[in-house]
Amino acid sequence: MTKTLLLLLLVAVANAKVFERCAWARTLKASGMDGYRGISLADWVCLTQHESHFNTRATNRNTDGSTDYGIFQINSKYWCRDGGVSRSNGCGINCSQLQTDDVTTAITCAKRVVRDPNVRLLYFDWTVAGNSNRDLSSYLRGCRL
List residues with catalytic annotation: 51, 68
Helices assigned H by DSSP within 15-94: 21-30, 41-52
Half-sphere exposure of 5 (CA within 13 A, CB side): 2
Q: Are 91 and 80 in contact (CB under 8 A)?
A: yes
Give the span between the Cα atoms of 136 and 134, in whole angstroms.
Answer: 6
Give the span between the Cα atoms of 38 and 32, in whole angstroms.
Answer: 12
Query: String of b and e for 8-21 (b: at least 16 CB within 10 Å)?
Result: eeeeeeeeeeebeb
